[in-house]
Every structure is written in structure tokens, then in C-alpha cells.
Amino acid sequence: MPAFHEGEVWLVGAGPGDPGLMSLYAIYAIQNADVIIYDALVDENCLSLKAQKAKLEFVGKRGGVKSPKQPEITRKIIDYAKQGLKVLRLKGGDPFIFGRGGEEAITLAHKKIKFRIVPGVTAGIGGLAYAGIPATHREINQSVLFLTGHDEKGQLSNRIDWEAVAKAAPVIVMYMATRPFEQIQKHLLNNGRSENESIAFVMHATTKKQKVVISSLGNAIEDMQKYDVKSPAIIVVGEVVDLRPILNWMDDQEIHANESYHG
């Protein structure tokens, strides 16, 4: 293992939840860190390997209480590093996929603080795999598109070219998209995607609470309400969803909302 030096920051992806999906580097970092600064989406089970003396600092949103702002989090990381601690910044999924890992690392680079990036399994790939949905399948899609429903203001970005998105890839994987989904659905349907396309909502992917709702793009809003689709959820639109009946290997909770779905 590479040495985790004092005064260094490791920016690590913990994966979508199941601790078994953490890399050896992630586990090593958890075992050796002096302080662990972690988000709401980091599963508590991932933290159980920490050294007894290690300080845990939660910087996510909890029980309606807002999370600290990004500059505050970055300041904490820098302060701890300057105190000579081994600082682990632990994030859900992969730090560089809709995880602000780049923003934090840029600040560290500017401050000349040494850092290492440890990629993690992102929810939009690993979470889908736990629902028996491959992000790509040779007969179905030659490209896949990742989209976020949150911009820096927490809203659906008005910089998204929906015509391009709708045409670009047969499979669209969406993060942080439950709240603005009504808008997203309209944009996709107005730009040529079919109402009959399969859609899956994978909630709490890879954890014991994993729940999957299968619907169609046209019925999605109704079914989201009916089946209580809530964050955290990965949303995937496209024919790869239809492979779930064959590939589903986990004993999760499943709701086939779409009656025309032949699972």
C-alpha cells in the first residue's frame, strides 16, 4: 500500500453502500486515517473499520438539518491537513461523479496540500448492477449518458441541451433526479423519447433497503407517487432495464408498476 502521510488528504469513494464494494485502498485509508470527513451517502457499515482513535466528522444532511456549505467543508479538510493529520475525505460512490471531488481537490492543489484520489464504484453503474441492470449491453446500446438533476443551485440545470441528450444515448442514467423528474420526463418526451420506454428507479441501491420500481417513461410520474419513489435513487431509462428479469440476482423488493411489463 502507498503510505498515507501526515498532512495528506485522501479523497476516497466508498461506493454506493455495500461495504464489500470498497477498494483495498479505501479500506486501508479508513483503517489509517486520523480524521474521516464523510457524507450522508456513505454507509455507516463502511466506517466500522476505522481506528478507534480516529475522529469521525459528518458533513451531510441529516433529519432535515442542512449540510455545511462546500467552502466550510473544504476549510475543515484544509485545517486538519495543516494540523498534520491523515485526512480522509470519504464520499459516496465515486468522488469524481457528481460528487464535487474535483472542486475539493482543486482547492487542495491551490493550497499545495498533497492529495490522492481513490475512485469508487459509482451508484449509476454499481447500483444498477445490484438491480440486475447492466449500464451497457452489446445488443442494446453503444453509448450511455450520465445526467444530474442538480446544478450548483440544487435545480435542474438550464444548460442541458435536451434534444442532444434525448438523441445521444439509448440509455440515460440519472443522479439526484427524483425531485425534478417531472421536468426531465417532459424534456425527454418532447425530444423524441418514447412513452413506452422502460424505466427503473433503484432506491438505496446495494444496501439492505434496496427497492426497485419498474415503470415506463410515460407512466413514471404517477408510479413514482404511487410507489413512493424517494431519494437516494438512481433512475435509468432504456432497454437495458428489460434485462432485469433475467439478470436480477438479488433478493430485493421489487415493484412492477408497468402492467405491460413482461417480467
Residues that bind ligand SAH (CB under 6 A): 16-17, 41, 91-94, 97-99, 122-123, 127, 175-176, 202-207, 231-234
> What gap in Å lies between CA 68 and CA 102, rounded to an integer?
18
The residue among 193 and 204 lying less far from ligand SAH, judged by its C-beta, is 204
For the bound state, the minimum distance from the C-beta of residue 41 to ligand SAH, rounded and expressed in Å, comes to 5
Q: How far is CA 64 from CA 40, 77, 243, in A?
A: 12, 24, 37
Give the residue with the Cβ less far from ligand SAH, 85 or 174. Answer: 174
Q: Which is nearer to ligand SAH, 81 or 97 (CB)?
A: 97
Tell me which residue has its CB nearest to ligand SAH.
93
Q: Which residues are catalytic?
A: 39, 61, 176
Residue closer to ligand SAH, measured from CB, 16 or 238: 16
Cβ at position 118, least distance to ligand SAH in Å: 13
Nearest residue to 29 (alpha-carbon basis) of 80, 79, 68, 86: 86
Side chain identity at residue 115, one-letter code: F
Least distance between ligand SAH and beta carbon 124 (Å): 6
In the complex, what is the shortest distance from the CB of residue 212 to ligand SAH, in angstroms, rounded to a whole number? 10
Cell numbers standing for residue 131 = 438491480
Q: Report in angstroms how near the CB of residue 172 gets to ligand SAH at its nearest.
A: 13
Judged by CB, which is closer to ligand SAH: 122, or 258?
122
